[in-house]
Amino acid sequence: MKKLMFVFGLLAVSTAEAQTPNFHITVTNLWFQGYKSNVLEMAEQRLNINSNDMPGLLILNAYEMEFSQFDAVSNTLNRITLVGETITNENFKPYYPFLKFRNDYMLEYFSNYPPSPATRVEEQAKGLIPYKPFMFNKELEALQKDGLCEPLGP
């Protein structure tokens, strides 16, 4: 029971810290520990306030890719590309060309990859595996250095 309470306490603290100066560290640590639904919730909160929030879009895309949500991923990839074009901050700007290339490649890949239902279920189950690094750690860190991971207000 104590162990369970510790885990819930850790989650509460980690989620509360999600909007602090250590946003990217909180996201990457929660993701690595396997709390991917908590990370998705943070992204959804940000995107509900600003649908063009780049940290929220990157987290959403990581979740969609991790859980093979191929029906939704193309929309998110396109939004990342469009929003990324508008970000000229010095730390994030060098990452944008790679993101655009990656997104273009992934859009082409998914247009030619219709997985069978069995393959989709198998791929989605892999998303539950903990101890995987967050794929956009460096981009999120750059966004934070540029001040774009600050708490969003209504």
Tell me the per-residue pLDDT of 121-150, one tens digit each, with 9 for 90 and over: 998 999 999 999 999 999 999 999 999 999
Amino acid 1: pLDDT: 46
Measured from the Cβ of residue 87, the count of other Cβ atoms closer than 10 Å reads 17
Instruction: Please say whether the beta carbons of 121 and 112 come within 8 A.
Output: no
CATH code assigned to 2-145: 1.25.40
Backbone angles phi, psi at 134, to 5 degrees: -75, 125
Query: pLDDT of 25-43, one tens digit each?
Result: 999 999 999 999 999 999 9
The one-character DSSP state at 20 is: S
DSSP helix/strand/coil, 59: helix
Q: What is the pLDDT of residue 9?
A: 45
SS3 22: coil
pTM of structure: 0.84
Cα separation values, 83 from 56, 78, 87, 93, 124, Å:
11, 9, 7, 12, 27
Question: pLDDT of 1-17, one tens digit each?
Answer: 444 433 444 444 444 44
Who wins on pLDDT, 57 or 16? 57
Domain ranges (residues) in the chain:
2-145
Spatial distance between the Cα atoms of 39 and 111, rounded to a whole number of angstroms? 27
Across the range 61-89, mean pLDDT stands at 94
User: 56 with 43: CB under 8 angstroms?
Assistant: yes
